[in-house]
Protein backbone atom coordinates (compact mmCIF):
# COMPACT_ATOMS: atom_id res chain seq x y z
CA UNK A 1 0.00 0.00 0.00
CA UNK A 2 1.27 3.47 -0.93
CA UNK A 3 0.48 6.31 1.37
CA UNK A 4 0.54 9.87 0.02
CA UNK A 5 0.97 12.67 2.50
CA UNK A 6 0.83 16.30 1.44
CA UNK A 7 3.98 17.98 2.65
CA UNK A 8 5.73 21.24 2.19
CA UNK A 9 8.44 21.46 -0.47
CA UNK A 10 11.88 21.78 1.02
CA UNK A 11 13.20 25.28 0.68
CA UNK A 12 9.77 26.84 0.16
CA UNK A 13 9.48 29.91 2.38
CA UNK A 14 6.95 29.72 5.15
CA UNK A 15 5.06 32.98 5.06
CA UNK A 16 2.00 34.09 6.87
CA UNK A 17 -0.58 36.11 4.98
CA UNK A 18 -0.15 39.80 5.55
CA UNK A 19 -3.16 41.81 6.67
CA UNK A 20 -3.74 45.50 6.01
CA UNK A 21 -5.99 47.81 7.93
CA UNK A 22 -8.96 49.45 6.24
CA UNK A 23 -7.31 52.82 6.83
CA UNK A 24 -4.14 51.71 5.01
CA UNK A 25 -6.20 50.39 2.11
CA UNK A 26 -8.26 53.60 1.92
CA UNK A 27 -5.14 55.79 1.86
CA UNK A 28 -3.50 53.60 -0.80
CA UNK A 29 -6.63 53.60 -2.98
CA UNK A 30 -7.10 57.36 -2.60
CA UNK A 31 -3.51 57.89 -3.74
CA UNK A 32 -3.98 55.45 -6.64
CA UNK A 33 -7.09 57.34 -7.79
CA UNK A 34 -5.27 60.66 -8.10
CA UNK A 35 -4.86 61.77 -11.71
CA UNK A 36 -1.50 60.87 -13.19
CA UNK A 37 -0.62 58.45 -10.41
CA UNK A 38 1.02 55.11 -11.18
CA UNK A 39 -0.55 52.19 -9.34
CA UNK A 40 2.58 50.08 -9.87
CA UNK A 41 4.86 52.79 -8.46
CA UNK A 42 2.60 53.30 -5.45
CA UNK A 43 2.45 49.54 -4.83
CA UNK A 44 6.24 49.25 -5.07
CA UNK A 45 6.67 52.09 -2.56
CA UNK A 46 4.15 50.48 -0.16
CA UNK A 47 5.78 47.05 -0.58
CA UNK A 48 2.64 45.39 -1.91
CA UNK A 49 1.95 43.65 -5.21
CA UNK A 50 0.39 45.91 -7.87
CA UNK A 51 -2.45 43.44 -8.43
CA UNK A 52 -3.36 43.83 -4.75
CA UNK A 53 -3.72 47.59 -5.12
CA UNK A 54 -5.61 47.22 -8.41
CA UNK A 55 -8.01 44.86 -6.59
CA UNK A 56 -8.52 47.27 -3.72
CA UNK A 57 -9.16 50.08 -6.19
CA UNK A 58 -11.67 47.97 -8.16
CA UNK A 59 -13.44 47.01 -4.92
CA UNK A 60 -13.54 50.64 -3.77
CA UNK A 61 -15.11 51.81 -7.02
CA UNK A 62 -17.33 48.74 -7.11
CA UNK A 63 -20.35 48.94 -9.35
CA UNK A 64 -20.11 52.59 -10.24
CA UNK A 65 -22.04 54.80 -12.50
CA UNK A 66 -20.37 57.12 -14.94
CA UNK A 67 -22.08 60.17 -16.25
CA UNK A 68 -20.68 62.42 -18.91
CA UNK A 69 -21.80 66.02 -18.77
CA UNK A 70 -22.14 68.42 -21.69
CA UNK A 71 -18.49 69.42 -21.19
CA UNK A 72 -17.35 65.83 -21.78
CA UNK A 73 -16.06 65.34 -18.21
CA UNK A 74 -16.77 62.02 -16.53
CA UNK A 75 -18.05 61.78 -12.99
CA UNK A 76 -17.57 58.49 -11.15
CA UNK A 77 -19.56 57.76 -8.02
CA UNK A 78 -17.87 55.05 -5.92
CA UNK A 79 -19.91 52.63 -3.84
CA UNK A 80 -17.38 52.17 -1.00
CA UNK A 81 -16.48 54.58 1.78
CA UNK A 82 -13.11 55.53 0.32
CA UNK A 83 -12.00 59.15 0.58
CA UNK A 84 -12.63 60.30 -2.98
CA UNK A 85 -12.41 63.87 -4.19
CA UNK A 86 -14.21 65.63 -7.00
CA UNK A 87 -11.83 67.07 -9.57
CA UNK A 88 -12.83 69.69 -12.08
CA UNK A 89 -10.34 70.66 -14.78
CA UNK A 90 -10.81 74.22 -16.01
CA UNK A 91 -8.12 75.07 -18.54
CA UNK A 92 -4.88 74.29 -16.74
CA UNK A 93 -6.41 74.66 -13.25
CA UNK A 94 -7.59 71.66 -11.23
CA UNK A 95 -10.21 72.31 -8.55
CA UNK A 96 -10.38 69.53 -5.96
CA UNK A 97 -13.16 69.23 -3.41
CA UNK A 98 -14.39 66.47 -1.08
CA UNK A 99 -17.37 64.48 -2.32
CA UNK A 100 -19.57 65.94 0.42
CA UNK A 101 -18.66 69.56 -0.46
CA UNK A 102 -21.46 72.11 -0.41
CA UNK A 103 -22.74 72.44 -3.97
CA UNK A 104 -23.30 76.19 -3.75
CA UNK A 105 -19.77 76.78 -2.48
CA UNK A 106 -18.31 74.58 -5.21
CA UNK A 107 -20.28 76.52 -7.85
CA UNK A 108 -18.87 79.81 -6.49
CA UNK A 109 -15.33 78.43 -6.64
CA UNK A 110 -15.78 77.21 -10.22
CA UNK A 111 -17.23 80.57 -11.30
CA UNK A 112 -14.30 82.39 -9.67
CA UNK A 113 -11.76 80.19 -11.44
CA UNK A 114 -13.49 80.64 -14.79
CA UNK A 115 -13.59 84.42 -14.44
CA UNK A 116 -9.92 84.68 -13.40
- Helix 39-46 crosses helix 22-32 at what angle (to 10 degrees)? 150
Using only C-alpha atoms, the chain has a radius of gyration, in whole angstroms, of 21
With a cut of 80, say whether residue 7 has pLDDT above it. no
CB-facing half-sphere around the CA of 26: CA atoms within 13 A: 10
With a cut of 60, say whether residue 9 has pLDDT above it. no
13-41 tens-digit pLDDT? 666 778 888 888 888 988 888 888 888 89
Contact 95, 110 (CB under 8 A): yes
Contact 92, 114 (CB under 8 A): no
> From CA 93, how far away is CA 95, in angstroms rounded?
6
Amino acid sequence: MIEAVADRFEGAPRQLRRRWSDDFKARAVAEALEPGSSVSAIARRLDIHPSQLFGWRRAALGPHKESTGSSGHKAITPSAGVAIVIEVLIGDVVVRAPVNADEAHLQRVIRAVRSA
